């Protein structure tokens, strides 16, 4: 399995906005289309790479830089990396973008937008209520800053659109940039798509019958 | 570019024994043979993933677990990961081995052995003198433990063998396990090797002329 080009799909947005859900669905969809994929979930990274870090700006930035470093190693080796951490600070996200692009890989930022009132109503983990009651300090969007992206490649309004629509929107952007091959709807047979993949791998020119 | 199988080449040994040198030469050799490779050097990781960690047993183990986590993500996506950190504790190394093997990737441990007297004489960074004089606490091999591997796949005696011999020894082990293709000496033409690679990629069976 070989991806056309390595890339990082970087979700950003408040807790509960739907980053992890979208990342999970896209992971499956991308695998089904033959890509090598890794999801770097905020919680998993805090366990494996950032234990001991807190939630100050400095610690949050360090956490994002670490996720970015791993995304970079994966992307430049043609793996699709998906990050699903809150990543509240614009400068840290832009730094990751610069490093990944400097390696010749692609950075696609997806802002998962959802109004705080809706999040407070859903409140899956019961954290918004606590934060809004002033019982939780350093809670992003309530008692800690969240800096919206200024030019995200995709903006998802998770309170207005069903998950399937958001997934399609993201996939269309990835297809447009030729980062994932188009789904069945693109008219190519499996055989032709395999041949196109072989061409991407530079193999066909070495095989006389297909040169 | 697609590796046959993902694997981690894990160097362990005292400071100055030659881990980074060997990792650098092997990286170039493996790239020349068509592999996707990443080197995770101890110093680079301490900057990118482990800033703030010290040199207690706990912190050293955390550092090794982080390197191991990244090696694991790379290896299971068919990238060859090379770690060149001291990694003094056996249990931490064995834990990384278990996790990588659990993903179906391969872990190859290379012990770069060199007597402390030789290291103290070379003393490139001037650290052994200080440590032996009692001016440096927590210096591996002098004032901090180093646990030798009990069953490393390759043992290098860097005070007795030239670098080229050590490199050959490691490459032979990787070839024997079919992790890297054999060098020019194996008798295959470039064309045949390309065809073999295509076969590994499962492409040939789809191409009638070569099926």
CATH number at residue A50: 3.40.50.300
Query: Nearest residue of A to residue B79 by CA position?
Result: A77
For the ranges B12-16, B71-75, B99-103, B189-193, the lowest mean pLDDT is seen at B189-193
State the best of A2, A48, A58, A103 to mutate against chain B, taking most chain B CBs within 10 Å. A48
For residue B200, is it within any domain? yes
The answer to whether A28 and A37 have CB atoms below 8 angstroms apart is: no
Q: Determine, yes or no, domain membership for B211.
A: no
Question: What's the whole-number average pLDDT of chain B?
Answer: 87
pLDDT band at B191 (very low <50, low <70, confident <90, very high): very low
* Number of neighbours of residue A158 by Cβ within 10 angstroms: 23
Confidence class of residue B52 from pLDDT cuts 50, 70 and 90? confident
Of the candidates B15, B75, B83, B87, the residue annotated as catalytic is B87
User: In angstroms, rounded to a whole number, what is the distance separating the alpha carbons of residues B36 and B27?
Assistant: 9
How much is the average pLDDT of B141-159? 96
Q: Are A86 and A14 in contact (CB under 8 A)?
A: yes
Q: Measured between beta carbons, which residues in chain A are less than 8 angstroms from residue B74?
A: 73-74, 77
Report the distance separating Cα A14 and Cα A93, nearest Å.
14
Give the nearest partner residue to B209 out of A1, A201, A207, using CB atoms: A207
Sign, CA dihedral B45-B50-B54-B58, equals negative
> Is residue A201's pLDDT more than 50?
no
The CA distances from residue B78 to A2, A37, A72, in Å, are: 9, 11, 16
The answer to whether residue A132 is domain-embedded is yes
What is the pLDDT at residue A182?
Answer: 84
For residues B167-189, give the mean pLDDT. Answer: 81
pLDDT one-digit tens code per residue, B118-145: 999 999 889 999 999 999 999 999 999 9
Is residue A182 classed exposed, middle or buried when 0-12, 13-18 and 19+ CB atoms within 10 A define those classes?
middle
Q: How distant, in Å, are the alpha carbons of A201, B97, B168, B183, B191 from that of B175?
A: 23, 20, 10, 9, 19
Tell whether B154 is covered by a domain: yes
Cα–Cα distance, B69 to A64 (Å, whole number): 16
Under an 8 A CB cutoff, do B74 and A78 touch?
Answer: no
CA distance A30 to chain B (A): 14
Q: Which of A28, A184, A29, A193 is nearest to B203 (CA)?
A: A193
Using CA coordinates, name the residue in chain B closest to A4: B1
User: Domain range holding B126?
Assistant: 7-206
Binary contact (B198, A191; C-beta < 8 A): no
Question: What is the per-residue pLDDT for A195?
Answer: 44
Lowest mean pLDDT among A130-134, A194-198, B42-46, B137-141: A194-198
pLDDT bracket for residue A125 (50, 70, 90): confident
Q: Which of B207, B210, B211 to mutate to test the interface with A (most CBs of A within 10 A)?
A: B207
Q: Residues 145 to 174 of A: which have CB under 8 A from any B CB?
A: none
pTM listed for this prediction: 0.84
pLDDT at B143: 92
Contacts of A203 in chain B (CB under 8 A): 194, 198, 201, 203
Q: Around Cβ A66, how many Cβ atoms within 10 Å?
A: 24
ipTM over 0.95: no
Residue B140 pairs in a beta bridge with B144
Q: Name every chain A residue with its beta carbon within 8 A of the beta carbon of B54.
A: none
Residue A142 lies in a domain: yes
Q: So which residues of A are the catalytic ones?
A: 87
pLDDT at residue number B2: 54
Residue A66 Cα distances to A123, A138, B14, B67, angstroms: 28, 20, 27, 12
Asked if residue B74 lies in contact with residue B38, where contact means CB atoms within 8 angstroms, the answer is yes
> In this structure, is residue B179 part of a structural domain?
yes
Contact B60, B138 (CB under 8 A): no
By the CB < 8 Å criterion, does A36 face chain B?
Answer: yes
Q: Test B73 with A74 for CB contact under 8 angstroms.
A: yes
Cβ distance A201 to B201 less than 8 Å, yes or no, reads yes
Chain B: give the shortest CA distance to residue A94, in Å: 17
State the pLDDT at residue B183. Answer: 73
| pLDDT over threshold 50, residue B190 | no
Q: Number of folded domains in chain B?
A: 1
Minimal C-alpha gap between A120 and chain B (Å): 34
Which residues on chain B are in Cβ contact (under 8 Å) with A194?
A: 203, 206
Average pLDDT (A118-145) is 93
Q: What 8-state DSSP symbol labels residue B147?
A: -
At residue B44 the predicted structure's pLDDT band, cuts being 50, 70 and 90, is confident
Q: Is the pLDDT of residue B205 over 80?
A: no
Residue A175: inside a domain: yes
B206 touching A (Cβ < 8 Å): yes
| In-domain check, residue A211 | no
């Amino acid at each position: 399995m070989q991806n056309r080009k390595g890339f990082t799909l970087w979700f950003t947005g408040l807790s509960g906005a739907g980053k992890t859900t979208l990342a999970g669905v896209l992971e499956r969809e991308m695998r089904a289309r033959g890509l090598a994929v890794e999801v770097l979930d905020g919680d998993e990274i805090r366990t494996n790479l950032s234990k001991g870090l807190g939630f100050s700006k400095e610690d949050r930035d360090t956490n994002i830089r670490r996720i970015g470093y791993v995304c970079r190693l994966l992307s430049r080796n043609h793996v699709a990396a998906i990050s699903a951490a809150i990543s509240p600070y614009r400068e840290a996200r832009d730094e990751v973008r610069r490093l990944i692009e400097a390696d010749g890989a692609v950075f696609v930022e997806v802002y998962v937008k959802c109004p705080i009132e809706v999040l407070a109503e859903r409140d899956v983990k019961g954290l918004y209520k606590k934060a809004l009651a002033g019982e939780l300090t350093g809670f992003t969007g309530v008692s800690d800053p969240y800096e919206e992206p200024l030019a995200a490649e995709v903006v998802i309004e998770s309170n207005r659109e069903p998950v399937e629509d958001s997934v399609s929107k993201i996939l269309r952007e990835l297809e447009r940039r030729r980062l994932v091959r188009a789904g069945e709807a693109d008219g190519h047979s499996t055989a032709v798509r395999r041949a196109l993949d072989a061409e991407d791998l530079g193999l066909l020119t070495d095989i006389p019958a297909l040169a």
